[in-house]
Structure 1
Amino acid sequence: MPNGQGGYQPIFILSEGTRRQRGHEAQESNIQAAKTIGEAVRSTLGPRGMDKMLVDSLGDVIITNDGATIMDEMDIEHPAAKMIAEVAKTQEDEVGDGTTTAVVLAAKLLEEAGELLDQSIHPTVIASGYGMAAAKAQEFLNDMAVSISIDDEEQLKQVAKTAMTGKKVEANVPVLAGLAVKAVKQVAEETEEGYEVDLDNISIEKQVGEGVDNTFMVTGIILDKERVHPGMPKSVENAKIALINAAMEVKETESDSEIRVSSPEELQKFLDQEENEFREMVAKIKEIGANVVICQKGIDDMAQHFLSKEGIFAIRRAKKSDMKKLARATGGKIITDIEDMTIDDLGKAGLVEERKISGENMIFVEECENPKAVSVLVRGGTEHIVEEAKRSFEDAVSVVAKSIESGKIVAGGGATEVELSMKISDYADSIGGKEALAVRAFANAVESIARSLAENAGLDTIDTIVELRAKHEEDGAVYGLDAHDGEVKDMMSEGVVEPLLVKTQAVSSGSEAAVMVLRIDDVIASKGNEVGEGGGPEGMPGGMY
């Protein structure tokens, strides 16, 4: 607006201290942040991948090469880097494996986009090309997939082994893979469309002590609890289990009220009344034949005494999630009113026992008949090993479940990525315009996964990729890299296989995240959230440290 002297008065829209990056500067900053994230996890990819040591603000240490854990534990500041880290979370939630692949792919797509931007290709053209390539990639991946059945235990074990290879528990992979397949098959439920696996029904507990090979599964549930009274039996065979979601305690009055007692006799009468309530409660439990009580809420000392006298094994304050699993494992019903409980509500187990594992008391509810919820107790010599063993086992369980649900697997070892890259390159030749350049960039990004596998194995990446391409051109679509000896082999014959969903989800989430970041041309950071040069918080390159 004119200010009276013929000049114009500036209009301030953003508050003082707000930092703004526009156009190429914003894109460059975001791409640099994505590259930094990709580089951070790329070295963990494959069976020869390295580990990361993550130290939090309290000094607690995590040593892992699990992409999701690394992304989750890293204190990331840069907003674009956070978006790439979300790719790992999505991949972990949807599939349970392939997190590193998804992050590396997203980062590489943005790096390739940066080169196209330098050639003055508009971001929307690149985004359009990436969208076309991602859609075509899904088609190609589905064509490459091979069917797998829930009864094909050996092939399912190979899927589990592939997910765990390269982790710290590699020496124990056969044991863990067998347990993963056994656990998933036990809880899988047949539907009209196929099989469904709810992984919440596989409870994975951990306890330091012994070796990873001593990990075992129980056909039932393991509870990190102990019986409420030392006078109760330590173990109960042919257990009839009452699952109670009600407090075995004196009911409090609904509103604030006062009970006036004028003589010792009246007080005694009041106490006797409470005692009778507990007697009746325990008598009811005994009458219907229950010899184990698992209560989600509290159990009064008096009730504990009467349960102990009757030889009934009892646990209190069980978690709600554990109660649901117990119901699925034992066939019992969770009841909220002891008075209405019948013999049909009781769950059954061959054995309920309190055992001391490495100095900690745990309750084992096992030998259930066809349980639809099971538990696995992961062991390991140190806290770090047992944590990594648990993470590896969770990955194995996830990929076996997804293989059973989708019924499709693909070759690992970079075979699928090389074949997909070649097919997308051919597709790029069939389309015209600038989008073809973006489609070819997409192909390069996909191939970078195989390059990273070769690089992490200490091989010459150029020679390896040339050899892989040559094999694939000879119609060897399942040929990939054996990272242990550096040879190009038939991955299906070698048993290096992965669920189709690991690849389709990585392509989908990785490309969507890359496109989202790519379309940003303006970053407005409020005061206190400044984005500095080099993509990180002020003075912090990459926004990671």
Structure 2
Amino acid sequence: MENTTGTGLKLLDFSKSLQVSKSLESLVSRGFGPQGLQTLLATSTGQVLISNNGATIFNALNIGHPVGRLIVKAIDKMTQYTGDGSKIFILTLSQILQHIDYRYTENERGQLLRAISHFTQHIFPLLQQHALKCSKTCSLDSDKEAFCDSFKSVLRSVMSPHYPARTVECLISTVLSTFNFDLPSHLFLEQVSIITQNFNLFTIKTIGPSVSDSTTLDSFIIQRDFGIYFDTYLSDHVRFVILTSAIEGQINSEDQESIHLSTNNSLRKFMEYQRRRIEKFAQICTNQKINLIISSTGITKYSLQVFHSNNISVIHYVEEEDAEILSQMCRKDVISEFPRDEFSVKEIFVASSCVRVIINGKPCVQVTPCGEGLAPYTKTLVLTAPTEGLCRQLYTVLHKAIKSLYLSINLVHPRTQILGKSSCESVTMPGGSTFELMCSNFLFKWSKKKTKCEESQMAEILADAFLGVARTLHRNVTETTQNQTRDFLLKLSTIREASIGDQFLGFDRRGTLQEMYKEGILEPCSVKFHVVSCVMELLYTIMKTDGMIGTKNKVTVS
């Protein structure tokens, strides 16, 4: 049903929002879970996309309906923070809208908005407290082995829907080798933060026979070749500077050194000025034993000749992101202005080696920073897959996994300085829809205690929505297709009985009930909470919108 007014305003009722969300849900619902199927999309330009990643699929769509665009933008914003959760987001939203369309009428929109607001402010904090009581917390300082196992479980949970079990275990081993678990808590958290925020700089995608062949390199890779390279000077000890502006610099009119190239005499003066400036820079480098220059801008041929005569190696046209991450890793400053007499200590970088390597047929430079005050940088991941498309897919999956790792840990500060140092803790929840089943059970019991209709109805709607998400997972992982509803209800009864004794069960890869802690499938609590929070925020926005202006084409929902 589509209601319109004479002013060009189209009324947006519950059923229309439900249709749009159901259309989006149908694209990814079969790909939800460890046995999820791939989705094939063909773009308007003829490009074929095969992916199991919800965010990738949604971003490839050209959606005309405003509500659809609103949902996709909300998912994109959420996954930029969490890296994962797009499928659970759309599944939960669709389930909620379905129950709202069944229980509420358009005249009760105000009552519904009050119920959503009440849930967000009062019931959701209680739900979080209940979930945290059932979570697992591991400290890096007190139990390093359990902390590492928690990392493995989070990685396994994220990567299982995309790759076979044996490949997943190989990737887990590769990813974990990039982290140094012997670091103090605050430095370990900084290390995870660095690779999460700069993942593209610590990864190299290469064509290879198998995803399992992915490996790591111990130092930072600059994906540029040397402009000038001296083997004998860069094998053991390297002192280098990083430039972000041209050595020739800009000539300011305020200095009365502005040269207008109108005569041969002016041209000669200009060239002499540039030559003196370059030679002075090379002399400063020689005096301070600088044997490598890394520049984000191009260096002229004459400048390269000057550096060659002074035995100074050069790498130019380096990406600004690479220069910035080297600055962060070494805790040094880049040079943006021409030095007067010498470089400061904060501008001189030190590396144990700087060598030329060939990666995927492309010449690169491998730099190994060293020295005091070095940031806890990670190794470089070399991602291998048979095609470029599979390389990009592997990159997306691992980036999603790294974000989940980062969100699973937090730094717990001591209440007083006497109690000791800060501790890095991993807070996780069992996977296999354990969180959704736990929330459904909690909200169902909570709704029975309340007599106020608005509060109990919204709690029941959320309880049924979470249960619907768990039912979708059960459908996707169950091997048999007959009597799935009956099988799910029997398992649900077993789950509720087990929860009385603080035993929390979920669905494994075959749809059988297991304690997911023992199965090694864990998910970050913060990701789960953030997904629910984003769903409720978007739901409130959609419910508060009852009209659209500017829709040109009628939406067809299949």
TM-based fold match above 0.5 = yes
- Contact kept in structure 1, 2:14 and 2:100, CA below 8 Å: no
Letter in 2 for 1:226: D
In structure 1, the residue matched to 2:205 is 207
For 1:189-208, list aligned pairs within 5 A.
Answer: 190=185, 197-198=193-194, 199-202=196-199, 203-208=201-206
Measured in 1, the distance between the counterparts of 2:34 and 2:290 equals 51
> How many angstroms does 1:516 deviate by?
1.9
Which residue number in structure 1 is paired with residue 445 of structure 2?
426
**Distance between the aligned counterparts of 1:188 and 1:296, measured in 2?**
32
Structure 2 CA distance, aligned partners of 1:180 and 1:241? Answer: 30
2:283 counterpart of 1:283: yes
Contact 2:247 2:338 (C-alpha < 8 Å) held by counterparts: no
Give how far 1:272 is off. Answer: 4.4
Provide the residue aligned with 1:498 in structure 2.
523
Q: How does 1:11-410 map to 2 (within 5 A)?
A: 19-22=8-11, 26-117=13-104, 122-130=108-116, 131-132=118-119, 133-150=123-140, 151=144, 152-168=147-163, 171-183=166-178, 190=185, 197-198=193-194, 199-202=196-199, 203-210=201-208, 211-229=210-228, 236-249=235-248, 251-252=250-251, 254=253, 257-261=259-263, 271-339=271-339, 340-366=342-368, 368=370, 371-374=375-378, 375-405=380-410, 407-410=426-429
2:413 counterpart residue number: none
- 8 Å contact 1:219–1:368 — kept in the other structure? no
Aligned length, in residue pairs? 512
Higher mean alpha-carbon deviation, 324-333 vs 182-191, is at 182-191
Cα deviation, residue 217, structure 1: 3.2
Question: Shift in Å at residue 284 of structure 1?
Answer: 1.4
1:300, CA displacement in angstroms? 1.4
- Inter-partner Cα distance in structure 2 for 1:229 and 1:386: 32
Query: SS state of the match for residue 239, structure 2?
Result: strand
**Alpha-carbon distance in structure 1 between the residues aligned to 2:409 and 2:86:** 20
* Pick aligned residue for 1:482 from 483, 503, 508: 508
Task: Work out whether residues 145 and 500 of structure 1, in 8 Å CA contact, stay in contact via their aligned partners in 2.
Answer: yes
**For the structure 1 residues 490 and 67, does the alpha-carbon distance in structure 2 shift closer, same or farther, using more than 3 Å as the test?**
same
TM-score, structure 2 length as denominator?
0.83
Q: Secondary structure at the match of 1:373?
A: coil
Distance 1:318 1:469, change over 3 A: farther
Structure 2 partner of 1:7: none
- Quote the offset at 1:47 in angstroms: 0.5
Render the CA deviation track for 1:125-167: whole Å, top value 9, x for unaligned: 3343344254443232222222122331122111111111111
Distance 2:436 2:399 in 1: 24
RMSD of aligned residue pairs (Cα, Å): 3.1
What secondary structure does 1:46 align onto? coil
C-alpha displacement of 1:84: 1.9
Give the conservation status (yes or no) of the 8 Å contact 2:508–2:514: yes
Q: Are 2:518 and 1:514 equivalent residues in the alignment?
A: no
Q: Report the Cα distance in structure 2 between the residues aligned to 1:225 and 1:368, rounded to whole angstroms.
A: 21
Q: Offset of 1:401 from its aligned partner?
A: 0.9
Q: Which amino acid aligns with 1:348?
A: V
Superimposed CA distance per residue, residues 60-102 of structure 1 (whole angstroms, 9 cap, x where no aligned partner): 3332211222222211221111222233223212222222112
Q: Which whole-Å CA distance do the structure 2 matches of 1:135 and 1:531 have between them?
A: 42
* Distance in 2 of aligned mates of 1:301 and 1:73: 44
Q: Secondary structure at the match of 2:225?
A: coil
Which stretch shifts more, 68-77 or 54-63? 54-63
On the 8 A contact 1:222/1:364 being kept in 2, the answer is yes
Q: 1:279 to 1:220 in 2, by over 3 A?
A: same
The alpha carbon displacement at 1:184 in A equals 5.5
Between the aligned partners of 1:352 and 1:330, the Cα distance in structure 2 is 15
SS in 1 for 2:10: strand
Q: What amino acid does structure 2 have at the position aligned with 1:448?
A: G
> Percent identity between the aligned chains?
17
Change (3 A) 1:395 1:262: closer
Using the alignment, how far apart are the partners of 2:394 and 2:182 within structure 1? 21
Structure 1's unaligned 5+ residue stretches are 1-13
3-state SS of 1:541 partner: coil
Contact 1:240 1:346 in 2 (8 A): yes
Aligned twin of 1:4: none
The aligned residue for residue 463 of structure 1 is 487
Report the CA distance between 1:420 and its aligned residue: 1.2
Q: Cα–Cα, structure 1 residues 238 and 470, in superposed 2: closer, same or farther, change >3 Å?
A: same
- Do 2:329 and 2:376's aligned partners in 1 also have CA atoms closer than 8 Å? yes
Q: Which moved more, 1:449-458 or 1:166-175?
A: 166-175
Secondary structure of 1:53's match? strand
